[in-house]
Structure 1
């Protein structure tokens, strides 16, 4: 039978793996309770507890694969804190750093601090309902503070009015202007940091005056930094070095003296340095995959049930798409994706986009799985095989030498290895990696 295209369009939108869920969304599935299938304690509960148990401002790191629900969890945390009654309330300012920092350029601490300072100042303007557009006053001050340190040949023109509120977009997208401003800020780095802290402090006083004691516990969530990546391999070293410098060498400057802050960071950085958590309020947290099997490969029923609920929520009526036994029809998708929500939604969306007759035939489901599996096979190199074999056998991080640890981080960042938590953290190959031609030398014809 056919399904009305208006329904299909709605379901396709609900299966978008790139779109995070807002707090309170009916599409949300609680993976962390009744029972938990992502470890013993929800990551956002740990983040919240660290903030509420602290006597001074905290700085925390949080990461996870794209599509595991990291941003959705952070938005839930913001909603919980903003809507809680006293004394368990606070005021959360969520910042999508992708709006201010280019994801394919090296990142610096000045990029991050200028974006946060601008957003906090803009929030103060918004709450006060001042006459000038929110954020303009700070941008004028920022422009004036750097203009006199720019060389006479600088591309940034001397009049603020030429840029106005678009100055932040110029910083993000115009690499020439960005680099000129970056060089000017380096010449007065300590002064710049002090001015950022002072402006954030002044803005918080204005926010507290505008909304009251709820803002006494002020939390900044700086999301999107985990997406910074190299567009091609020739850029990888400079990009990764800049990220490591941001969170390790300049980590002290990311602590904001007047408020709490949570930063997301690229998942591979966990395996680059042991010092990552030393300057922060706690060790970095990683959002794991949904556990649908144990280390021995045995099914984990609770995890499979939760993943099916995700499918059911997004499709509204699973029988309409998969027939009278949707649980059985969906099972191959869940098994093939290893508890990775993004890949489940990716396959569902592909089926909705490509099929015209419903329920979907089993052969068409297998074809959709095969198409996604091929995208994984295409990025696996023969040089990856030995380490992937080690992970399949041990389920542990390789610690023999630094090069293997770094290679592990790269495979992790390419989603070839997935992280689970059941007591201790453990690792396994993405099921779609299994059977890849590049692995045959290590695994033989019977891939793991």
Structure 2
């Protein structure tokens, strides 16, 4: 392989890496305007989110959901770009920077992270220009814990020995430690949750007061008509591990349902990203978050909901454009290989991340250009293997989803199991007027064959 070919593959591989588009003038061309297509424009999440913000008087709250890798983070950044252009001051907070996604979430540590992230983001954007020790939330939180006599040794150790009121340097040191430890130390987080249990009302008021102060300072600087928007990303990453997934999912539901009132703020527009399983585990969740409610980003429909699973050409054209913006697929696959691109698009199920992953694996395996059919098949199988193995019981359920295009849920006791299928992309959500479901095309044949064998085996035991 020539140096030029190696450089082409290196650049192509990097361009299909899964990362949000920032809309900062350097990467805008990578964004494919899916929602400019008449077939998909009615589902444009940014248009709908913006209208709820613009039509509301000074404050609003909305939820944005979709599968991990469906483009939520990119769409949030597109929303930020549009809002910036209309004079809004936007704080974008990645909640994963403040809380571990593998641990149950409590309303107290979520509120701390939210306020801390808002202050950090506004300071980073120069919308708050004072001393971080006074403008940020973390030193304030240390003082709050001190005032309410919540003694946490990890915090107290950062304060001046014997001081009734912490000096500035000690407060800064303690607040930096608190911010880091809140995410990295599960035992500290659990201890803090327990000690905060009796002070939730006071914490909620303190966070609300801080949010209001931030907004007032932004308005004082830019004008009283200026409005502030908080975009909270990566909440869908909070899903736990194999051993505690149900507990973590329950904690997210508890936060968003039982404490929904604490997630609304005066004078602030907020958009929270939430996991797609919430649509299953908590019906009508959006009613708690008016005026926008819950906005779902469906998987790109690459097939029509019919008996023949007819390919939907507008979606295939968009996915071809998506990959064209990242590299020359004709050089990679061959000049007459549009059929292969469409095959890969169909196998991705319209899931944007999986579409890019298929091309990344082909590029990784390429030893010559264009690549052989054997390389394409090996890349497909490698991505398929990532979904396997599947239990017989799961195969039967997934086969029912594929055949009926609904979730085929027999009882609510299995809701968490169904949520797991969505988290793993084994089940996908589409929209054609009403929502409908299918299983990932990479495993459809495997699931069907396994389900048939399992049904026969179980019938024989009866």
TM-score by length of 2: 0.87
Q: Is the 8 A contact 2:392 2:454 kept in 1?
A: no
Unpaired segments ≥5 residues, structure 1: none
2:190 matched residue in structure 1: 179
Cα 1:117/1:248, change in 2 over 3 Å: same
Distance 1:310 1:36 in 2: 16
| CA separation of 1:440 and 1:366: change in aligned 2, threshold 3 A | same
Q: 1:274 aligns with which of 266, 283, 300?
A: 283
Question: In the alignment, which of 329, 332, 335 is matched to residue 343 of structure 2?
Answer: 332
Distance 1:374 1:122, change over 3 A: closer
Aligned to 1:253: 262
1:45 corresponds to: 47
Q: 1:209: which partner in 2? A: 220
Residue in 2 that maps onto 1:104: 102
User: What is aligned with 2:321?
Assistant: 309
Q: Which residue number in structure 1 is paired with residue 163 of structure 2?
A: none
Q: Please give the alpha-carbon distance, in whole angstroms, between the structure 2 residues aligned to 1:376 and 1:367.
A: 15
Matches within 5 A, 1:7-156: 7-17=8-18, 19-23=19-23, 25-37=28-40, 40-84=42-86, 89-123=87-121, 125=123, 126-130=126-130, 132-133=131-132, 138-147=137-146, 149=148, 154-156=153-155
Quote the Cα distance in structure 2 between the aligned partners of 1:172 and 1:197.
Answer: 22
Q: Deviations over 1:407-439 (max 9, x none)?
A: 332212221111111211111111012122685
Cα distance change on mapping 1:397 and 1:40 into 2, 3 Å: farther
- Report the counterpart of residue 435 of structure 1 in structure 2: 445
Tell me the secondary structure at the aligned position of residue 68 of structure 2: coil
CA RMSD of aligned residues (A): 2.3
Unaligned runs of 5+ in 2: 160-170, 456-462
Task: Give the corresponding residue for 1:352.
Answer: 363
Q: CA contact under 8 A between 1:155 and 1:176: conserved in structure 2?
A: no
Residue 384 of structure 2 corresponds to which residue in structure 1? 373
Equivalent residues of 1:135, 1:165 under 8 A apart: no
**Alpha-carbon contact 2:92-2:121 (below 8 Å) kept:** no
Partner residue in 2 for 1:199: 210
TM-superposition CA deviations, 1:278-322 (whole Å, max 9, x none): 31114312111111110120011111010111111111x222211
**Distance across 2 between alignment mates of 1:345 and 1:189:** 44
Q: Number of aligned pairs?
A: 434
* Pairwise CA distance, 1:376: 1.4
**Contact 1:12–1:349, Cα closer than 8 Å, also in 2:** yes
Preserved contact between residue 381 and residue 438 of structure 1 (Cα < 8 Å): no
Q: Distance in 2 between matches of 1:128 and 1:419?
A: 41
Q: Residues 213-243 of structure 1, C-alpha deviation per residue, up to 9 Å, x if partnerless? A: 463x2111111110011222x2122211111
d(CA) in 1 for partners of 2:454 and 2:415?
25
Which residue pairs with 1:218 in the alignment?
Answer: 228
Q: Give the match for residue 411 of structure 2.
A: 401
- 1:96/1:222 contact within 8 Å kept: yes
**Residue 93 of structure 1 aligns to a residue in which SS?**
strand
TM-score (normalizing by structure 1): 0.90
Give the whole-Å Cα distance in 1 for the aligned partners of 2:122 and 2:81: 19
Give 1:414-433 correspondences, 5 Å limit.
414-433=424-443
